[in-house]
Structure 1
């Protein structure tokens, strides 16, 4: 056995809990807080302290937008994952990891553990959360004032914390070292990198074990804690990624030691993996049905508000996993939520015209228009999918008590080269009206997993196993929520697949779905295609002229390599010798 420092024990900082000033949780739960000697015996001597220990693990669940200047929380600096896809372009060079490392192809293994990359292997706090969850699992049984039922439920939550963190890492790296206990400084252990099959099974088993003890839905007082619905839903996400061609194909995406050792693919292509997704979706649906459909899409007939509530409103009956870092937003200009300023005013995550075009027409037909030959008086943004207007700021739409002016010279785009609305639009989702009065005091959560994702995953998997006829209904559910008619039938398998990927893009924009969809389907073409914006000019007669223009080419346009599908491991971690193998190409 080897005595090595894995990232699991490289934990920075400590956490105080509420009014319990004498309780300090640190690297080993052994750091001394003011006025008390704290040990594991202290932590697990009461239900109150044990619950707070679990909260410490909850604290590091994935949260999609930058909310702190702490480097451990600054994924891609102050940017979003979508900015590395065809959906968005960022212009904030000083705080934008997308522009700094990815648009120019500068990302490499030596930079892979910096704060402004997609995923920093030792600094993302996933290992810290996993360790805290294992410490809880290993000690909660000795808490004297918790019932056995309470202990089992909390154990299920701890297992879900581990499962979520491994899910995040699996989608970025592939196979991983699989820890089965808490590791302390000086421990003897050996946890090499495992195959993708073992990694996926490890996560799925955690989900199954959690689902067996968790309630289907929590009370209002415990909203935000993991449930059986969360466990079954996460299993769907994991299996969908595993069934997709990145891992499930007749050849690896790139040759290398990790490929030879089946750490980044299964070694074969099997339809059964898609069937596993179908079965997991069916299991979720049957459980939801048995519990009187406690989870349903937000659907009142107010299409735009329903869609906004689906991702913004807590405890809405649709969000399956909700992560929080604050109870309410202190305001758009608060330093801890600097992303809101960066996206609203400084040019982060500007939507591409490619993305705007993905939103179809209100009658359900795909949007198709030659932007450089739009007839006089025709507004290409009228009568579109309602999700367009709640995802992006659209010229002429209602906005801050007025109409949005994304045209050059307008309030949102004062000059042609102003970065705020450089592409002809700006992000609306999560930022609402972009004003302090709207956001200050509003509830803030991240919709890590929504019911709509289960439905679209069900449709995708059914299509892949040759049951396309059954798949339409699940897409129709999602589209019907915003008033779109049912899909035309008789699509081919490939046409249906393209439609579902487009549907996921418009439904889950800015929710960290698109990157993983492009990766799991090995969509090199979407990483290398030209990206566009639209210049909107106000004419003397009050009409608008539209000019499609090509955005600056990214490094990938002419130098794409499949290595970009997965992140690189930090060389210093590989050099520790515990069996971490670098991903192909890095």
Structure 2
């Protein structure tokens, strides 16, 4: 690639909050700024490429000044919704349609400007005069993979959606109806296959973060895994849509979809490890290994990340500086509102692989008991959470992460503060959200092989992740019991990585009403009151609110404003 002299790094590793506020697609087409003027030289085109990465990969992430650090985890019951004015509260207590906002944070209509931008780059990159044909082909493949990623996300959240095959001209109709679920899936798979055939297995260090073969295959794998899960892999949709059932289910229950998903996950593992040099980090130190895998920028387990550098901690009330700012979000925001619930805490193992025993509701235990039990927890827990009256395990000895540095004045209850993604961060303000880690391919393979009846393969892939956490190998061979164990592994390994909410929905768990609904519990302290910086005496479990669940929430609603235009069919129940 002939990009060595360019100073920006794709995708926007070096972008700062003070940069120009206008996106590429928002620039007016004038004598000074036209598509033709942008796609003249490599340097100019890189701005459009960089914006395509940022806007595409930022889907569902808090980089656009949304208040909740990770909204989806609030909706799983894993974290408290925060304060009364947060966007999670209305969804949690009243449901999606009542809240007027979607759990993907961006909203449906905001998917298409980034998709259009990627198409514009793909359609115009050939105009660049100082780029080789091979390099142009790679840029086109990058854009194709980015488009596939955004569609994979919509596929999971909405079902069948309109398929856009070009940037569209002013004369083209924008009233494109929804396409059947299978057609969307086939498009994602086709885009990923074509992109993976061209993309490099690995980029030079100064281009780390750009699309690779393994990243494209990861997009394909995730789509195929969700196609195999019961929500879509069914002859009967979750709610009847009559003639439009093909928008929300695949029309039959085909066990072969599990084998297809397993093979797709295995392809990610093979390419990532053999071609890309990726690997599951396992030095025998579970806390440190998981911390590295989830928090250290450009570590060898991350196949694709959202890279957004924000060094500003807090700019005199300018809230636009908060998104993707780990340091401030943890020390002030998550420490006050988004705290761990008992509902999720119970999924974590002790470091010896046993289940921890926590006090029942109404049973009071000493605060010394709380501290002792927290110290017994597995490494992934210690990397992700900071208990009350304790310093963070994932930044040992760092003054930024001591108890008094991360103690907020929030609701006063909760099991622990959330510090995931901030391991080894010190005073670093920003973090890189891991969109695809190699661990997801292993758990995808484990889940799919188990459903395909290949128990040995399932255990091999599961234990690669489970034992990295310092836990004893799983030996269960009963398919139903192993399914529950694998689902638990997803919950723990990928906490706060925007997996669990839609995992639970697509599994169609028989008890989903008590997983994504029902009583949400957290710990209260000092005879049922609030937690203190120091001097806590006892703790108990407490129901803090009741979360609503309705079957219509299996998939997101389309905005009513779009439905009113007459070109979209609404998902059932809304």
The question of a shared fold, defined as TM-score above 0.5 by the shorter chain, is answered with yes
Confirm or deny: 8 A CA contact 2:366 2:537 kept in the other structure: no
Give, in whole Å, the separation in 2 of the partners of 1:282 and 1:58.
26
Q: Of the candidates 163, 176, 180, which is equivalent to residue 178 of structure 1?
A: 163
Structure 1 partner of 2:449: 462
Give, in whole Å, the separation in 2 of the partners of 1:421 and 1:152.
55
- Aligned-pair distance for 1:377? 5.7
Q: Provide structure 1 residue ranges, at least 5 long, that are not aligned to the other structure.
A: 1-16
- Aligned-pair distance for 1:376? 9.4
Give RMSD over aligned pairs.
3.2
Confirm or deny: 8 A CA contact 1:343 1:349 kept in the other structure: no
Matches within 5 A, 1:122-521: 122-123=109-110, 126-188=111-173, 191-257=176-242, 260-291=244-275, 294-326=277-309, 328-331=310-313, 335-338=319-322, 341=328, 344-346=331-333, 347-371=336-360, 372=363, 378=369, 379-395=372-388, 397-399=390-392, 401=398, 419=410, 421-432=412-423, 438-440=426-428, 442-487=429-474, 489-521=475-507
- Aligned-pair distance for 1:25? 6.3
Confirm or deny: 8 A CA contact 1:119 1:172 kept in the other structure: no
SS in 2 for 1:320: strand
Confirm or deny: 8 A CA contact 1:532 1:550 kept in the other structure: yes
Residue range with higher mean Cα deviation, 520-529 or 268-277: 520-529
* CA distance 1:183–1:532, shift in 2 (3 Å): same
Structure 1 partner of 2:569: 581
* CA distance 1:543–1:444, shift in 2 (3 Å): closer
SS in 2 for 1:104: helix
Confirm or deny: 8 A CA contact 2:24 2:48 kept in the other structure: no
Confirm or deny: 8 A CA contact 1:350 1:421 kept in the other structure: no
SS in 2 for 1:553: strand
Give, in whole Å, the separation in 1 of the partners of 2:314 and 2:384.
18
Structure 2 partner of 1:528: 517
- 1:31 paired to 2:16: no
SS in 1 for 2:504: helix
SS in 2 for 1:350: coil
- Aligned-pair distance for 1:479? 2.1
Confirm or deny: 8 A CA contact 2:117 2:167 kept in the other structure: yes
Confirm or deny: 8 A CA contact 2:413 2:525 kept in the other structure: no
Give, in whole Å, the separation in 1 of the partners of 2:454 and 2:571.
35
Give the TM-score normalised by structure 2.
0.85
* CA distance 1:223–1:214, shift in 2 (3 Å): same
Q: Of the candidates 62, 66, 73, which is equivalent to residue 82 of structure 1?
A: 73
Confirm or deny: 8 A CA contact 1:278 1:458 kept in the other structure: yes
Structure 2 partner of 1:563: 552
- Aligned-pair distance for 1:232? 0.9
Give the TM-score normalised by structure 1.
0.83
* CA distance 1:188–1:405, shift in 2 (3 Å): closer
Confirm or deny: 8 A CA contact 1:278 1:461 kept in the other structure: yes
Q: Provide structure 2 residue ranges, at least 5 long, that are not aligned to the other structure.
A: 1-14
Structure 2 partner of 1:98: 88
SS in 2 for 1:552: strand
* CA distance 1:325–1:403, shift in 2 (3 Å): closer
Confirm or deny: 8 A CA contact 2:332 2:407 kept in the other structure: no
Aligned residue pair count: 534
* CA distance 1:110–1:582, shift in 2 (3 Å): farther
Structure 2 partner of 1:3: none
Confirm or deny: 8 A CA contact 1:420 1:426 kept in the other structure: no
